[in-house]
Structure 1
Amino acid sequence: MAGLESIEQPRGHATAARWSPGTEDERALTALDRYGNPAEQEISLPSRPQSAAAARRLVQTVVARQWGMSPRLTEDAVLLVSELIGNAVQHTGARVVGLRLRRARGRLRVEVRDPSRALPCLLPVSETDVNGRGLLLVSKLADRWGVDLLPRGKTTWFEMRVADR
């Protein structure tokens, strides 16, 4: 997690000294207080790059702490939600995006809703490309992913298999 968070820090600031599990727990609780629990209902996040960090914290809190899922699944879900939120923020012109987490027997489903009906595209990328890898990651790490068109917008989602207890 420290590596993901360091990307969002201003240049010249060392994040290794400032990051700690306690600080991250506090940030996660702050995100839950501010936005709500995406496992209980869809929450709205402002359409800005910083919302990816909030989404990561919310997914981490729900998937790992509330649902007790594996660290590997949690890491993958955190990475993928960041990609979907980033795509919605960058490509849709939305003012807000929605985030919802669902757990069904043997599956974790993460949904990101935005008001655009433009479909996301899985583009071919080369080793030297710096952009365009988000959906490639989703397609590689998720068991399934897709888009549901809505009367006003769409929901982009991914599912991952989880072990039933």
Structure 2
Amino acid sequence: MPECTLAPEAAPLVLEPSDEAPGKARRYLTDRFRDLGHADDFVGRLVVTELVTNSYRHVGTGHIIVRIFPEVREALTVIEVWDQSSALPVVQPEDDYAEGGRGLLMMARLVHDWGIRPLNEEGKIVWARCVR
């Protein structure tokens, strides 16, 4: 039987919803990508910044939990951000005059795929799969 090497397990990052949360999430992602042997974390940092920022701006209470792990069968890395709100994020239409609201649209164009998983217990997970 061939030997299987698993990626190192990492504890999730638990954040207070604040303007410091995106920076902490970026540092966590950079460390996690280094542990996984990924040379480029640019897209991952953009994704985790957008998802964590949306959580703290639009939810504002409770905790935000970030998990980053490799997908076993494909050369993708999954970024998950949990918050306790059941409100789902909405991709805004393109608007040349808008001062904000482009984050999810930009993220959707950079990642392999992404989605939202509402939870029965409480809250939701917004996830994105990035090419390694």
Q: TM-score, normalised by structure 2?
A: 0.85
Letter in 2 for 1:47: P
Report Cα offsets for 1:93-135 as digits up to 9, x if no partner. Answer: 3221000001123110000000001110001132332210110
Q: State the partner residue of 1:22.
A: none
Residue of structure 2 equivalent to 1:85 = 52
Across the aligned residues of Structure 1 and Structure 2, the Cα RMSD in angstroms comes to 1.3
Name which of 50, 59, 65 aligns with 1:98. Answer: 65
Structure 1 residues not aligned, in runs of 5+: 1-38
1:129 aligned counterpart, secondary structure: coil
Matches within 5 A, 1:46-61: 46-61=16-31
Superposed, which structure 2 residues align to 1:60-79 within 5 Å?
Answer: 60-63=30-33, 65-71=34-40, 74-79=41-46
Q: Is the 8 A contact 1:80 1:137 kept in 2?
A: no
- What corresponds to 1:126 in structure 2? 95
Higher relative contact order (CA 8 A, sep 6+): 2
Aligned pairs, number: 121
Written as runs of structure 1 = structure 2, the 5 A alignment for 1:7-18 is none
Distance 2:57 2:107 in 1: 17
Residue 140 of structure 1: which of 82, 105, 109 is its match?
109
Q: Which whole-Å CA distance do the structure 2 matches of 1:137 and 1:61 have between them?
A: 24
Q: Distance in 2 between matches of 1:93 and 1:66?
A: 30
Shift of 1:158: 0.2
Match of 2:123 in 1: 153
Aligned to 2:10: 40
**Corresponding position of 2:4:** none
Identity of aligned residues (%): 28
